[in-house]
């Protein structure tokens, strides 16, 4: 138990400095230690200060932040007392950082190997040939394909999951004593996440490095952490061993976090009160793709012969990993990407493939809700205008009628009336997503296409949005096409599920049918990849996943 302390934050306070010089506390009197060979998880929602604390272990504050009190000690050396040059000696050498998005943190203009090895070479701990061969060993240990040559590629030439593991190699190349991992698997599909988690765990154990693991996902934490620090609003709420915190959470906030991790539901307990006769959308033999002549003969076919029905008032969940074509399907239904084969029927009427050819009344009936509210909402417009515009466009509502309806919509998505005059940047992520939803509802649609609407949100906020969707469905009778890569979210909300794999529908049926065996090997893989909230799951799941993968490969061969 008395291993050496690698890192210690003592009474750490970090403030944000506003433009007018006033200071806002971001991190408040945080104390914790990381010992040799130990993984400490910092868990909390966005805005809880977890990334800020993690970066302080590198003696780094994002622009606009500063340490106002307390200290960060790396091997008993005070980082805040060091100058730039002393910090530079430590960074990459004693403590290394892994960021959330490898795609953003790899320099697009430099080859991978140079970026992986440069830190070790510049710090002088390895010569270039030594670093090269060390890196190759790491690529192998991280289960990367073709370890001898992968370093000669540019970042855009490898997949997202591979790049995430290459970033781990970049951090490990200097053989640091402390690793800081900032949500390193959040941007990945479940199936890829498992691979990356396994690789991380392996190298951390083998090399005996200490690690600070930042995440909002308790299920992931349960697999990798020895100790857990729960943060809320810059304060430590609870800390203790992983086992203790997960099996006996003491603080109410930890319990809320745990409730937001939804287990896969026991299927067959769905309420079907809104079921109305007939299909609102029927997709018959639709194929679509990009490049070349999209409407007749695209260069790259993404969707192949899709057949799906969406019953009135129901929720059709579409699940699959990135690249499986699920977002493309939504774009085809919306008319943003015309199909080149097959028909889409809305209320038994054939829809024109191209958005431009559809009459306004049809456009009104199908509304799109995008993943990123930040990019989908015009930042220069007030909420009143954002919600009022579709009212004018589709329903000819003006003046006080328009305003009344906007206020109604705000109420519908459980936001206060005062938001009418606010701008998007004054709202939180979850509130913006509600506005995004209200904007789609303003058109009084029959079908909402929801593309990963909760993926960018923290677990608690995401769970609240799903609750809201459930209520809307009950009260308004809207039908949903609900796209997500998260099987537990989809199965909690949908009536029927379609599993997409490489542009085809691998399996479709009610949630119960899809989740209970026998299912398509790809569905098996998805089901066994959803992390469970208990210590030791990762090792158990490994066998099931391998089995499902083997079946999938055999299935592809035959």
Partner 1 sequence: MFPILIKKIGAGLLTTLGVSIVIFVGTNLLPGDAAQIRLGQASTEDSLRALREELGLNLPLYQQYFRWLFNFVQGDFGTSLASGNVTIAQLISDRYENTLIVSSLTAMIGVPISVGLGIIAAMFPGTLYDRILTLGSVTLVAAPEFFTATLMVLFVVFFLGIGNAVVVGSIEDKNLVELITHFILPITTLCLVIAAQLIRMTRAAVLNVMSSPYIEMAILKGIPRRRVVMRHALLNAIGPIVNVVAINLAYVVTGVIVIEVYFGYSGLATLIVQGVQTRDYILIQTLGMIFCATYVILMMIADLSSILSNPRLRHPK
Return residues touching partner 1 (CB under 8 A).
55, 58, 60, 84, 87-93, 96-97, 99, 101, 104-110, 118-119, 122-123, 154, 156-157, 170
Q: In terms of CB distance, is 100 or 327 closer to partner 1? A: 100
Shorter beta-carbon distance to partner 1: residue 51 or 491: 51
Q: How far apart are CA 189 and CA 192, in angstroms?
A: 5
Q: How far is the CB of 56 from partner 1 (least distance, A)?
A: 12
Minimum CB distance to partner 1, residue 151 (Å): 14
- The distance of closest approach from Cβ of residue 91 to partner 1 in the complex, given in angstroms and rounded to an integer, is 4
Q: CB of 118: closest distance to partner 1 in angstroms?
A: 7
**Shortest Cβ distance from residue 105 to partner 1 (Å)?**
4
Question: How is residue 271 written in tokens?
Answer: 């309420």
Identify which of residues 63 and 518 has a Cβ nearer to partner 1 in the complex: 63
The span from the CA of 411 to the CA of 403, in Å, is 12
Per DSSP, the residues of 244-306 read HHHHS--SHHHHHHHHHSPPPPPSS----TT--SSEEEEEEEEEEEEEEETTTEEEEEEEEEE
Q: Which is nearer to partner 1, 93 or 495 (CB)?
A: 93
Choice between 170 and 511, CB closer to partner 1: 170
Helix locations, 452-486, DSSP H: 459-476
DSSP 321: -
Smallest distance, partner 1 to C-beta of residue 101, A: 7
Minimum distance between the CB of residue 290 and partner 1, rounded to whole angstroms?
A: 14
Cα–Cα distance for residue pair 257/70, rounded to 1 Å: 28
Angle between helices 429-441 and 399-412 (to 10 degrees): 130
Which residue, 104 or 336, has its beta carbon nearer to partner 1? 104
Please report the sign of the dihedral spanned by the C-alpha atoms of residue 361, residue 366, residue 369, residue 375. negative
Across the beta sheet with 297-311, what order do the strands follow?
297-311, 279-293, 341-346, 349-350
Question: In this complex, which beta carbon is closest to partner 1, that of residue 101 or of residue 510?
Answer: 101
| Residue number, 99 or 211, with CB nearest to partner 1 | 99
With a CB cutoff of 8 Å and minimum separation 6, the contacts of 133 are: none
Q: Which is nearer to partner 1, 154 or 398 (CB)?
A: 154
CB of 393 to partner 1, least distance (A): 36
Residues 6 or more apart in contact with residue 416 via CB below 8 angstroms: 410
Dig out the tokens for 489 from the structure: 């979210």
Q: In the chain, what's the furthest Cα-to-Cα distance? A: 73
Q: How far is the CB of 20 from partner 1 (least distance, A)?
A: 18
CA dihedral 70, 76, 78, 84 (to 10 degrees): -150
């Amino acid at each position: 138990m008395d291993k050496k302390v690698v890192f210690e934050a003592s009474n750490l306070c970090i403030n944000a400095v506003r433009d007018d010089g006033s200071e806002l506390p971001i991190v408040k009197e945080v104390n914790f230690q990381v010992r040799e060979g130990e993984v400490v998880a910092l868990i909390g929602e966005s805005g809880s200060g977890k990334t800020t604390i993690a970066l302080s272990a590198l003696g780094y504050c994002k622009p606009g932040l500063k340490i106002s009190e307390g200290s960060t000690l790396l091997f008993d050396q005070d980082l805040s007392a060091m100058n730039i040059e002393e910090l530079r000696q430590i960074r990459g050498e004693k403590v290394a950082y892994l960021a959330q998005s490898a795609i953003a943190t790899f320099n697009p203009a430099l080859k991978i190997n140079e970026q992986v090895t440069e830190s070790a070479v510049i710090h002088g701990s390895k010569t270039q040939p030594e670093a090269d061969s060390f890196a190759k060993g790491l690529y192998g240990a991280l289960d990367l394909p073709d370890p001898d040559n992968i370093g000669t590629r540019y970042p855009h030439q490898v997949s997202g999951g591979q790049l995430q593991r290459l970033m781990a190699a970049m951090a490990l190349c200097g053989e640091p004593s402390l690793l800081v991992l900032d949500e390193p698997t959040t941007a990945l599909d479940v199936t890829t996440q498992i691979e990356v988690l396994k690789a991380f765990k392996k190298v951390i154990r083998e090399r005996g490095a200490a690690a600070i693991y930042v995440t909002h996902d308790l299920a992931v934490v349960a697999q990798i952490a020895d100790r857990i620090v729960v943060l809320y609003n810059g304060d430590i709420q609870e800390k203790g061993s992983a086992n203790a915190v997960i099996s006996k959470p003491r603080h109410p906030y930890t319990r809320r976090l745990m409730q937001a991790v939804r287990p896969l539901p026991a299927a067959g307990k769905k309420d079907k009160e809104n079921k109305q006769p007939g299909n609102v959308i029927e997709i018959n033999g639709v194929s679509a793709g990009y490049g070349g002549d999209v409407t007749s003969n695209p260069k790259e076919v993404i969707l192949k012969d899709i057949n799906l029905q969406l019953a009135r008032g129901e929720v059709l969940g579409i699940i699959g990993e990135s690249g499986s074509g699920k977002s493309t399907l939504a774009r085809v239904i919306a008319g943003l990407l015309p199909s080149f084969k097959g028909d889409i029927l809305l209320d038994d009427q054939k829809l024109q493939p191209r958005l431009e050819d559809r009459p306004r009344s049809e456009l009104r009936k199908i509304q799109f809700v995008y993943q990123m509210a930040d990019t989908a909402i015009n930042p220069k417009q007030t909420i009143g205008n954002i919600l009022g515009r579709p009212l004018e466009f589709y329903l000819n509502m003006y003046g006080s009628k328009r305003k009344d309806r906007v206020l109604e919509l705000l109420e519908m998505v459980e936001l206060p009336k005062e938001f009418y005059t606010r701008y998007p940047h004054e709202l939180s992520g979850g509130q913006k997503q509600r506005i995004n939803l209200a904007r789609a509802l303003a058109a009084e649609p029959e079908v909402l296409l929801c593309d990963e609407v909760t993926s960018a949100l923290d677990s608690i906020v995401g769970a609240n949005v799903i609750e809201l969707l459930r209520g809307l469905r009950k009260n308004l009778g809207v039908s949903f096409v609900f796209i997500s890569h998260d099987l537990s979210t989809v199965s909690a909300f949908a009536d029927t599920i379609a599993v997409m794999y490489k542009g085809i529908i691998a399996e479709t049926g009610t949630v119960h049918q899809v989740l209970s065996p026998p299912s398509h090997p790809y569905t098996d893989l998805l089901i066994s990849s959803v992390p469970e909230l208990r210590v030791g799951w990762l090792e158990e799941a490994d066998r099931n996943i391998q089995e499902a993968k083997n079946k999938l490969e055999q299935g592809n061969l035959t």
